[in-house]
Structures are given as structure tokens and as C-alpha cells.
């Protein structure tokens, strides 16, 4: 349960588009308000990470062609994209750029193959230098080279694509449940430099939908007082049924019944501890205890939103730093070119060109290191 829950009026009992102004009668006063999560605390993030872990593991059962990749942006591309998106600042700009670029990438893919490519991507900010935004995730395709090609064949090439371990001429890239666990950790990642940054998940609809045809899903069916609202993992662990499946399995009415049944049982869970739902004192105490832990561990909360402004300003500085570096680079290239023109020799940039065939694995390792990813942690067999 969220450590900073907020109670809001239940939209079901308000005039809305769905009910066309006909508000249903409230049978149980306790459901007049609904608790909503803050989306920042570790309980909220853990829940989100678990949901994706399950859905992606389910997806892997039917899709065997997943490729674990990293998509990056060059400073040139960042500058270009900045001018394509709505004017934004700080983290919003980062996420806006990533979203825009992925959308364009998918469009180009669709144009070529007449259908979209299944994907699950998450944004991350780097830990070094100008802490550049990049994306990690899975793209479901047989052709891993195509990812790189299409990422870079728009108006401007976007940047380096890490697409697997090189073995001779072959690229080896295979996604397993372990890769999924590794990737989903980004959802819960404690980003010390950017504690208020919210990674954005960009993904296809229906990831893991295959579960609805399973025996497990059938067993989840509503049964008054005895509904098995659980998901059984591959190693037999029973965990909460992800919201995505819950919404597919139960009607709105059944969901409300399940909620009331839970309220009747009178149990609440706070940070994994079971408490009596009526015992306000213990609840308050436990919440405060876990909230303290939450901030000690460095996770966000509504309280830290005050420092968010400072963090956003810092992020702006990073963007400016990156653009300044780019300007400097362009100016340097210009003067270099001029200088060589005068002397009638080729610029060093050009003479370097044949060397392009430098060891790609070393380059990938360098980039991954820069992004704070341990190359050896990634399971690519």
C-alpha cells in the first residue's frame, strides 16, 4: 500500500461521461472515496515494477524474438529534437524528446513493414558527464540490425544503439526472464542524482495479454468470499494479480465487491506488515515509520516535491551544458576545417574516417559504463 495515500471521491459516484449523468446509488458508504497512490514512494514503485515483471514474463512465453537494446541520443540529435517538441524544461524535456523520438522510430518502422513492432522501453538519465537521457528495453523482432538502421534513418540520426554482444561477426542477443528482472529494476532504481526523476515507460498495448488464455486466469474468476486474486510466478510464488489482468478479469461491479470484502476482513498491509484496518493508531505509526525509511532510502514522496524545483533547475543546466559542448565542438570543427583548407590538407576528421571499423565491443562497453550499466550483469547468451 502507498505510504502517502490520498483519498479522492470515487469517480463512479460522480457525474461523468461513462455514466451519462446517471449516478448509481451508493450501497456502502465506505466506497464513496477511493485511496490513490502517490506514484513516488517505494511501495508504489515496487507495485509498478512487479506489474511489469509479470507482464513481460508473460509476453516472453509467446514472443521468442525479444531483443534487449539501448537507444541513445547524440548531442546533435538532442539539439534537433529539442526544436521539434513542445517547449519544455528539465525532466519534462528529456521525457518529451524520448517519447517523440520513439514515436517517429515506430512510424518509420510501420511505414516499412506495414505493421508496428512490439516494444517495451524505459527512459533513464546517465550518471556521468551531461547525464544524457537514453532508453533501455526490449524490441520484439528477428532483425536486430533493423533497430539500429531505423533509429538512425530519419531527418537526423538519433544516436548509438547497443544491440547485443558481438561474437565475431554475429550479434548475440537473447531475452530471458533474468533480462526482464534486470530491466524492470530501472522502474525502482534509486537515482541519487535525480531522485525526483520519473522514468517514462513507452510500450505497445497488450504486453503479456496471453495470460488471459491461461488456466491461472481462469482460476482468478470471481467467487464470492473466495476469489483467488493472485498470480503464480514461474517459481511458484503467489503475488498480487497485476491491475492489468484484474481489470480484464473482473467487471466494475465485481471489483467493488472485492473491495468491500477486503474492507470487511479488516486487514491492511503497510510496508509488508499486516495491521487491523480499524487500528488507526498503529496504522499512523507504521505509515510514519515506513515514510521515514522511504526518505532515508532516497525514494521520492509528496514532501520532496519542494526540492523538485531545484532539481529541475539543475537539469536545465545539464541541457545547457550539453548544448554548449556541442557548440564548442562545432566551432572547433569549423576552425579546424578552415585551417586545413588553407594548408590544403584533409581535415583530421576525414582522415580518421577509415578507422571507423574500430572495435565495436569496446565502444559498447565504454558507453554502457558511461551509463552506469555493468556489461557483465546483462544476460545475453
The residues of the shown chain that bind Zn ion, judged by CB under 5 A, are 2, 37-38, 41, 44
* Closer to Zn ion by Cβ: residue 1 or 202: 1
Question: Given phi > 0 = left and psi -120 to 50 = alpha, else beta, which region is 39?
Answer: left
Question: Least CB distance from residue 6 to Zn ion, whole Å?
Answer: 9
Which of 41, 139 has the CB closer to Zn ion?
41
The least CB distance from residue 49 to Zn ion, in Å, is 13
Q: Residues 231, 244: contact at Cβ < 8 Å?
A: no
Q: Quote the CA–CA distance of 370 and 128 in Å, as a whole number.
A: 6
- Residue 303 CB, shortest distance to Zn ion, in Å, is 12
Question: Residue 101 and residue 123: Cα distance in Å, rounded?
Answer: 12
Name residues whose C-beta falls within 8 Å of residue 249's C-beta, 6 or more positions apart in sequence.
212, 217, 220, 221, 222, 241
CB 133 within 8 A of CB 94: yes
SS3 120: strand
Helix 90-113, helix 144-151: angle, nearest 10:
120
Minimum separation from the CB atom of position 290 to Zn ion (A): 10
Q: Which three cell numbers stand for residue 236?
A: 511458484
Closest approach, Cβ 230 to Zn ion, in A, equals: 22
Residue for cell digits 538519465?
A: 125
Main-chain dihedrals φ then ψ at residue 230, nearest 5 degrees? -130, 160
Residue 38 or 49 with smaller CB distance to Zn ion:
38
Task: Name the minimum Å distance from CB 41 to Zn ion.
Answer: 3
Q: Which is closer to Zn ion, CB of 26 or CB of 243? A: 243
Closest to Zn ion by CB, 199 or 208: 199
Q: Of 78 and 299, which CB lies nearer to Zn ion in the complex structure?
A: 299
- The cell for 66 is 525479444
Amino acid at each position: 500500500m502507498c505510504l502517502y495515500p490520498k483519498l479522492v471521491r470515487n469517480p463512479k459516484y460522480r457525474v461523468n461521461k461513462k455514466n451519462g449523468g446517471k449516478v448509481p446509488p451508493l450501497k456502502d458508504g465506505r466506497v464513496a472515496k477511493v485511496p490513490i497512490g502517490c506514484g513516488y514512494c517505494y511501495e508504489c514503485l515496487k507495485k509498478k515494477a512487479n506489474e511489469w515483471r509479470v507482464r513481460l514474463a508473460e509476453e516472453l512465453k509467446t514472443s521468442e524474438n525479444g531483443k534487449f537494446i539501448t537507444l541513445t541520443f547524440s548531442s546533435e540529435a538532442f539539439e534537433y529534437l529539442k526544436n521539434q517538441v513542445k517547449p519544455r524544461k528539465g525532466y519534462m524535456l528529456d521525457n518529451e524528446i524520448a517519447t517523440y523520438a520513439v514515436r517517429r522510430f515506430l512510424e518509420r518502422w510501420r511505414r516499412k513493414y506495414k505493421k508496428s513492432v512490439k516494444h517495451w522501453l524505459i527512459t533513464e538519465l546517465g550518471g556521468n558527464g551531461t547525464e544524457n537521457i537514453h532508453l533501455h528495453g526490449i524490441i520484439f523482432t528477428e532483425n536486430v540490425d533493423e533497430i539500429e538502421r531505423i533509429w538512425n534513418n530519419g531527418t537526423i540520426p538519433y544516436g548509438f544503439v547497443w544491440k547485443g554482444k558481438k561474437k565475431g561477426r554475429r550479434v548475440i542477443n537473447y531475452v530471458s526472464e533474468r533480462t526482464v528482472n534486470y530491466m524492470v529494476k530501472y522502474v525502482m532504481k534509486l537515482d541519487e542524482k535525480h531522485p525526483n526523476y520519473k522514468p517514462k515507460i513507452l510500450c505497445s498495448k497488450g504486453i503479456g495479454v496471453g495470460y488471459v488464455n491461461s488456466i491461472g486466469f481462469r482460476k482468478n474468476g470471481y467467487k464470492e468470499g473466495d476469489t483467488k486474486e493472485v498470480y503464480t510466478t514461474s517459481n511458484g510464488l503467489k503475488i498480487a494479480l497485476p491491475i492489468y489482468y484484474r481489470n480484464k478479469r473482473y467487471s466494475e461491479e465485481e471489483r467493488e465487491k472485492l473491495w468491500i470484502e477486503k474492507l470487511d476482513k479488516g486487514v491492511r498491509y503497510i510496508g509488508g506488515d499486516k495491521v487491523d484496518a480499524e487500528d488507526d493508531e498503529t496504522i499512523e505509526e507504521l505509515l510514519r515509520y515506513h515514510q521515514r525509511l522511504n526518505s532515508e532510502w532516497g525514494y521520492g514522496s509528496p514532501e520532496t516535491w519542494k526540492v523538485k524545483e531545484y532539481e529541475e533547475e539543475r537539469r536545465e543546466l545539464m541541457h545547457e551544458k550539453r548544448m554548449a559542448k556541442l557548440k564548442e565542438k562545432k566551432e572547433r570543427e569549423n576552425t579546424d576545417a578552415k585551417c586545413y583548407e588553407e594548408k590544403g590538407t584533409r581535415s583530421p576528421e576525414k582522415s580518421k574516417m577509415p578507422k571507423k571499423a574500430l572495435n565495436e565491443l569496446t565502444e559498447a562497453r565504454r558507453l554502457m559504463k558511461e551509463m552506469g550499466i555493468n556489461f557483465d550483469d546483462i544476460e545475453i547468451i
